[in-house]
Amino acid sequence: MTRAHVIVVGNEKGGSGKSTTAMHLVVALLRQGYRVGSMDLDARQGTLTRYAANRSARAIIVGADRLPLPTHVPVARSEMADQAEAAIDERRRFEAALDELVATQNYVVIDCGGSDNFLGRLGHAHADTLVTPLNDSFVDLDMLALVDSETLAIQRPGVYSELVWESRKQRAIRDRGSIDWIVMRNRLSALDARNKRDMGHVLEKLSKRIGFRFVQGFSERVIFRELFLKGLTLLDMVEADPDQQLKLSHVAARQEVRMLLDALKLPQPQALASAS
């Protein structure tokens, strides 16, 4: 039995598209026939957990054969007042949940919250692949590096880059493993060509300096928001929502999700879900 490959979706910033990316990766992998575990470390906001619940409810209506489901586990932050005890409590619950998922699934997708906390760091330190969605603006870029506003020269690493650096160290100490870090641009708009180009230049330089690959992510599209309540993603529309008319923009958006998955270059697990 091989261990599942762990994909962590993280960025020390709310609203950058982590949960949206996580749910699309979960469904893209499910639709390829894999067993997928999903873990919500942002249980307070609970976006991925609510999404999983919406999806389960939907599966009862349309039939589970048409709507594959992940094995979903939320891991909440500890309520213990003492910081050291809280950390032990969080580590125990996180590791128990992850051990179970990696032993039974092909892939595990972990959605993190938008702030720096112990649980989020635990998640990061267990990543095989780390995906960081980034809104296409210099405000978001600040998390990765401080950039001179005039020359766009990189001055020093940002807080999130330091967190990833630390996670890579933790991972290496624990099992000599490494983390493949991918920064993905999200909510790309066709309108702001200059900003898009400047961001591209800086990301290119940064990727070499701090060790990530960067990929085109998703464009700004309403459809990424619309399907949430139904528990669906773009990849389910035809299969599980016959009322939906697949428009040209939807086809393009599905393509973006598939391209992201390809760009991640995930290893293929040997133990596939049974093909029946």
Binding site for ligand ADP (CB under 6 A): 14-20, 47, 114, 186-187, 218, 220-221, 224-225
**Min separation Cβ 157 and ligand ADP, Å:** 21
Instruction: Single out the segment in contact with Mg ion by CB under 5 A; choices: 19-27, 122-130, 140-148, 178-186.
Output: 19-27
Residue 218 touches which of ligand ADP, Mg ion, none (Cβ within 5-8 Å per kind): ligand ADP
The amino acid that residue 214 corresponds to is: F
Q: Which two tokens stand for residue 216?
A: 């085109």
Decide whether 120 or 158 has the Cβ nearer to Mg ion. 120
DSSP sequence for 203-219: HHHHHHHHT-EEEE--B
- Burial of 212 (C-beta count, 10 Å sphere; 0-12/13-18/19+): buried
The candidate with the shortest Cα–Cα distance to 100, out of 190, 169, 35, is 35
Instruction: Single out the segment in contact with Mg ion by CB under 5 A; choices: 46-54, 152-160, 170-178, 233-241.
Output: 46-54
Which residue's beta carbon is nearest to the bound Mg ion?
19
Residues 187 and 17 sit within 8 Å (Cβ to Cβ) = yes
Residue 95 touches which of ligand ADP, Mg ion, none (Cβ within 5-8 Å per kind): none
Per CB under 5 A, 19 contacts Mg ion: yes
Residue 15 touches which of Mg ion, ligand ADP, none (Cβ within 5-8 Å per kind): ligand ADP
Burial 9-45 (b: 16+ CB within 10 A, else e): bbbbbeebbbbbbbbbbbbbbbbbebbbbbbbbbbee
Name which position in 16, 21, 38, 47 contacts Mg ion (CB under 5 A).
47
Decide whether 11 or 106 has the Cβ nearer to ligand ADP. 11
**Min separation Cβ 17 and Mg ion, Å:** 8
**Min separation Cβ 169 and ligand ADP, Å:** 25
Decide whether 68 or 120 has the Cβ nearer to Mg ion. 120
**Min separation Cβ 72 and ligand ADP, Å:** 16
Decide whether 205 or 221 has the Cβ nearer to ligand ADP. 221
For residue 124, CA distances in Å to 136, 164, 169, 188 come to 23, 7, 11, 25
DSSP sequence for 127-154: -SEEEEEEESSHHHHTTTEEE-TTT--E
Decide whether 27 or 154 has the Cβ nearer to ligand ADP. 27
Q: Tell me the residue length of the chain.
A: 276
36 strand-pairing partners:
107
Per CB under 5 A, 21 contacts Mg ion: no
**Min separation Cβ 225 and ligand ADP, Å:** 4
Q: Which two tokens stand for residue 125?
A: 């330190």
Decide whether 37 or 157 has the Cβ nearer to Mg ion. 37
C-alpha to C-alpha distance for 119 and 87, rounded to whole angstroms: 8
Decide whether 47 or 233 has the Cβ nearer to Mg ion. 47
Contacting positions for Mg ion (CB under 5 A) = 18-19, 47
